[in-house]
Structure 1
Amino acid sequence: MKIWDAPTRIYHWLQAVLFTAMCVTGFLQEGPHLTIGLALAALLVWRILWGLVGSKTSRFLHFVKSPRSAVNYLLGKEKHHGVGHNPAGGLMVILMLSLLVFQCFIGMAQAGYFDDYISDESWLYDIDLLAALHLYGAYLLMGLVGVHLAAIAIYSAKGKSLVKAMITGRQAQLQPTSLFFRSNKRAGAILLGIGGFLTYFVSG
């Protein structure tokens, strides 16, 4: 059955590509690192908004559980009977989104995009602090990506292909589940609006 809409799948793969490009250009200190970061920032805002007004399985209210639920799921004390992200997967989504937003924010601060909106005494003017936060944030994100890839491998070994589901949008489901999917046009309009606003902000 269909569980993932096109916007969520497009976001997932674009995030993977942009994050990889960010790491390569960042650590090599060459290439369009800032431009890629701004594209990632727009993508993140799109995902956050889609998590509020998008399809059921894309909404945060559908898959975000408490940290206790995530731990209990990992320990086998709690089962996941629904579709979409399990409690641990939902927590991973929130962690990665939060860290990516933080990384983009720090990167934009380093580039001076917030200079007109902060005081001269703000910590956002501390170049050394920003550089350290950006570096350690990158290391932490790569660690989370490693955990994510390990989880995918474990599920694959158990016969559940998460990669295939994120490509096709479909996954075998024993029990019929009522889901709703929002229009792809709505997602496209939101993305265009975000892109236009960000372009105006960084060029203003």
Structure 2
Amino acid sequence: MKIWDLPTRLYHWLQALLFTLLAITGFNATGPHELLGIALSGLLVWRILWGMFGSETSRFRQFLRSPNTVYRYMKGQHPHHGAGHNPAGGWMVIAMLSLLLTQCFVGMSMAGFFDAFLSDDSLLYDTDLLVMIHLYGAYLLVATVALHISAIIFYKRKGTPLVKAMITGTQKHLPRPISVFFRSNIRAGIMLISVGGMFGMLLS
């Protein structure tokens, strides 16, 4: 059955592409790193909006569970029978979004995008501090992505092909039929265009 809508799948693969390019250009100090970071920032804002107003399986409230539920799930005491992210995967999404948002914010601060809104003694003027945070944030993100890939391999071996589901939008062998509510792709497109226009004004 269908569990992932087109906007969520599109976001996922664009995020993966932009993160890869940012890692390459950042660690090698070459290429359009700043422009890629701005593109990722806009993409993140779009995902957050879609997480609040998008399709059911894309909404944060649908896949965020309590720490106790996550703990029980990891111990095998809370089976996941719903569509979309499991309890642990839901918090992985939040962790990655938070890290990426922080990294983009720090990077844009380094590029001077927020200078007009800052006082002279703001910590965001401390270049050495920003560089350190940006560097270690990059290392932490790489480690998080490695953990994410490890989880994908683990679930693949258990017979749950997460990558295929994120490509096709469908997942087989669900324990029971589940009804999933999907929002219009047009709504997602309008949100994306609006966010793109906002970031375009930021660059102008």
Shorter chain as denominator, the TM-score bin is over 0.9
Matched residues, number: 203
Equivalent runs, 1:148-187 vs 2, <5 Å: 148-172=148-172, 173-187=174-188
> 1:65 and 1:189 mapped to 2: Cα distance?
30
Any conservation in 2 of the 1:73–1:88 contact (CA below 8 Å)? yes
Q: How does 1:1-204 map to 2 (within 5 A)?
A: 1-172=1-172, 173-203=174-204
> What SS is found at the alignment partner of 2:85?
coil
- CA shift, 1:61, in A, is 0.6
Identify unmatched segments of 5+ residues in structure 2: none
Query: Runs of 5+ in structure 1 lacking a partner?
Result: none
- TM-score, with length taken from structure 2: 0.98
Mean CA deviation greater in 74-83 or 38-47: 74-83
RMSD: 0.8
Structure 1 residue 72 displacement after superposition: 1.9
CA positional deviation for 1:79: 1.5
**3-state SS of 1:129 partner:** helix
In 1, Cα distance between equivalents of 2:133 and 2:106: 8
* Deviation larger for 194-203 or 8-17: 194-203
**TM-score, reference length from structure 1:** 0.98
- Give CA deviations for 1:120-162 in whole Å, capped at 9, x if unaligned: 1000000000000001111111111011000000111111100
Say if 2:81 and 2:175, in contact at 8 Å, map to a contact too.
no
Runs of 4+ in 1 over 3 A off after TM superposition: none
